[in-house]
Amino acid sequence: VTDALTARSEMMVGRIEGHLLSMLVFALRPRTVLEIGTFTGYSALVMAEQLPPGGHLITCEVDDKHADIAQRHIAASPWSDRIELVRGPALETIARLPGPFDLIFIDADKTGYCNYFTALLPKLSSRGLMLADNVLQFGAVANDRDTGEDIVAMRRFNDLVHADERVEQIVLTVRDGLTVIRRVS
């Protein structure tokens, strides 16, 4: 369906990474999940399916066309009561949300990742995890001659996280690279 309705179906996390997200929600039992970048709702739905009783997922989307499709998928699912889709630029939504969040999944505009990390770290619960997708840019982050906007932005994000002594992180080589971040202070 996403393939037919959008030009960019590769933006979805896909089945393997979707399965990892589902496993993490199953194991962590987060009460609150925040997703940055809904697209057509696939990753929101796979996470929502595993939420514990009372668990809640907020997902942020700036593009109305994407949000309309996602809203239809969410409404047609058994998990619509656990998912809140918030339209608008995610940074503005984040500013309005107090947190804390037990699980955060960043998967929107790559040039926004540094801002999302900075704004969200204080809102990550002490035992929570922050996940950031596409951190390898299919290997291009390691090629200094590649100066595409998203690639430069992702190098900046990776450096920012690496240098931040408040966190510990690991990069999983799942699909396009998924960084798992936790607070140490």
CA distances from 159 to 165, 177, 185 (A): 12, 15, 19
When CB distances to ligand SAM are compared, the closest residue is: 37
- Report, in Å, the least distance between residue 44 CB and ligand SAM: 7
Sole binder of ligand SAM in the list 61, 73, 155, 178 (CB under 6 A)? 61
Tokens of 118: 């900075």
- Report, in Å, the least distance between residue 1 CB and ligand SAM: 12
- Asked if 24 touches ligand SAM (CB under 6 A), the answer is no
- Asked if 13 touches ligand SAM (CB under 6 A), the answer is yes
Helix or strand or coil: residue 113?
helix
DSSP H helical ranges for 60-184: 64-76, 90-96, 113-120, 149-163
Q: Which is closer to ligand SAM, CB of 38 or CB of 179? A: 38
Query: Of the listed pieces 24-32, 34-42, 75-83, 139-147, which binds ligand SAM according to CB under 6 A?
Result: 34-42
- Report, in Å, the least distance between residue 2 CB and ligand SAM: 8
- Asked if 62 touches ligand SAM (CB under 6 A), the answer is yes
Can you name the residues that pair with 183 across neighbouring β-strands?
167
Sole binder of ligand SAM in the list 85, 90, 132, 141 (CB under 6 A)? 90
- Report, in Å, the least distance between residue 126 CB and ligand SAM: 25
Q: How far apart are CA 59 and CA 9, in angstroms?
A: 18
In the chain the beta strands, taken as DSSP E runs, fall at 32-36, 56-61, 83-87, 101-106, 124-133, 167-172, 178-183
Q: CB–CB of 114/87 below 8 Å?
A: no
Sole binder of ligand SAM in the list 66, 73, 82, 155 (CB under 6 A)? 66
Amino acid identity at 178: L
Q: How far apart are CA 52 and CA 9, in angstroms?
A: 29
In the complex, the residues that contact ligand SAM under the rule CB under 6 A are 11-13, 37-39, 42-43, 60-63, 66, 89-90, 107-109, 112
